[in-house]
Amino acid sequence: MNTKSLLNNQLITALFIAAAFLGSGPARAQTVVTPITPLPFNAVSETAGATLLVPYFEVDLNNPNGRNTIFTIDKGGRQDAFSVNGMPSGTNNNTPTAVLAHVTIWSDLGVPVFNFNVYLTGYDVETVNMRNVLAGTLPRTASAGQDPGDTISPKGPLSQDINFASCTGTLPTGSPNLIPGKLPPPPLSPTDISNLTAALTGKPAPTLCSGSSIYNDNVARGYVTVDMVNNCTTKNPGDAGYFTTDTTNQNHLTGEVFYVDPSNAISRGGNAVQIHADIGGQSNPATPDPLVTTSGNYTFYGRLNGFNASDQRQPLSTNFVARYNPGGTGSSGWRPMGPAPGRASLIVWRDPKVAQAPFACNTTPSWYPLGQENITAFDEQEHPQTFSSGTPFGLATQMVQVGGAALPVTATSGIIYLDLNTVVIGAVGPTGDMAAAQGWVQVIDGKYGVFHNAQQLDSATKANHQIP
């Protein structure tokens, strides 16, 4: 008898025995499995979004060959459709059309300090080197109207190349540069560079401060957002009209982020956070999703528009679980103060839940430091270590070593549970759960040198407040 026949006979025999067993003897109690009710909003997926979040960057301004952050903006022309909020999949709006992306650089205290525009043809990708940006050189792109020779943003055979008239600037008299906000972008002036780097290192820029001064190491830190827009705008997210006239709900963008340290031959990288905009349901794409279009609900940019849902972006999660491992030797790890032996580091982005403007130096924003509901680490035998006090993730973004002074986990390996929900005085939403606070957590592994997202355990639309 061949193997296939033997397997078939075994399967038939097993089914016969099972049927006889179920059909004879006294009635038995049946186990009833109750389906788990799904979250009212999907966790953030890896499909293309209308906004990208680079949760953290750092650039060592003392060492031109030191730590740096590079990210990409990808317009891959993918034909994927996805479900938001568990609704039927929306009509695909991610086609190989040319688009405009608006990049905003934020300090580690959530202050927008600089912005610029990037044009992408249908299957385009643009690499943004933060060291170059802070040195005054912006990515050089241009739509068809500013690039008639197709030499700045060349179009491939399957891509669209169109003109955004709003990106055409007038040359100032005696200046070789186009006006700010237009394409191709001008190089930054020495004053612009000085103010930008000061704002990202906790120094006056020029008289007020935007970033944290706790490090005092001349390393620029912050985070980046990239939004789909319909014109070459110079606005920051939250400025009047930005969400109502400038941004679009085209879910076209993906991206990657890389943390590099050439001087120590270190590179870590993974996906940027791809945040989806409302696109309605498949049966009626014009029908808005109430969770991201209802005033008072949590949306990604809610803190900047009074939680009126005008941005229509899905919020992130509030609870995460991350694996941490013991560190290696030499320069195998990446720590907040540079590569050194040590355990995993966590990149933690937080939502201050209030719009933050530059503030008087030698002071801090009213919401700082951000607290949390719970941090519990478990070793590999499941012994818990709970941190009921302290604010290891008090900034809008930071990199913190597991087992370091800010997060003194004693076990060398295990998992750590982060409930980042917190009430922020002065926040006006989300009205249904004032303690809900979105965030994002990424892990730079200390043992294997890999970079990955922590696991999402909920969504800010229905925040989990259960303590382990």
What is the DSSP secondary structure assignment for residue 98, as one 8-state letter?
A: -
| Residue 253 belongs to some domain of the structure | yes
Nearest CA to 98 out of 137, 150, 149, 46 is that of 150
**Cα dihedral across residues 411, 414, 417, 418: positive or negative:** positive
pLDDT per position as a tens digit, 19-70 = 443 344 444 445 555 454 444 445 678 889 999 999 999 999 999 999 999 9
Q: What are phi and psi of 198, to 5 degrees?
A: -65, -40
Domain enclosing residue 267, as ranges: 51-456
Q: What are phi and psi of 258, to 5 degrees?
A: -130, 130
| Residue 386 belongs to some domain of the structure | yes
| Residue 210 belongs to some domain of the structure | yes
Instruction: Supply the pLDDT for residue 174.
Output: 46
Instruction: Supply the pLDDT for residue 450.
Output: 83
| Residue 192 belongs to some domain of the structure | yes
| Residue 63 belongs to some domain of the structure | yes
The angle formed by the CA atoms of residues 159, 163 and 166, to the nearest 5 degrees, is: 140
The number of C-alpha atoms within 13 Å of 132 and in the hemisphere containing its C-beta is 10
| Residue 13 belongs to some domain of the structure | no
Instruction: Supply the pLDDT for residue 84.
Output: 43
The domain total for the chain is 1
pLDDT per position as a tens digit, 178-187 = 466 899 999 9
| Residue 3 belongs to some domain of the structure | no
Instruction: Supply the pLDDT for residue 389.
Output: 87
pLDDT beneath 70, residues of the chain? 1-43, 77-95, 170-180, 280-286, 327-342
Instruction: Supply the pLDDT for residue 272.
Output: 96
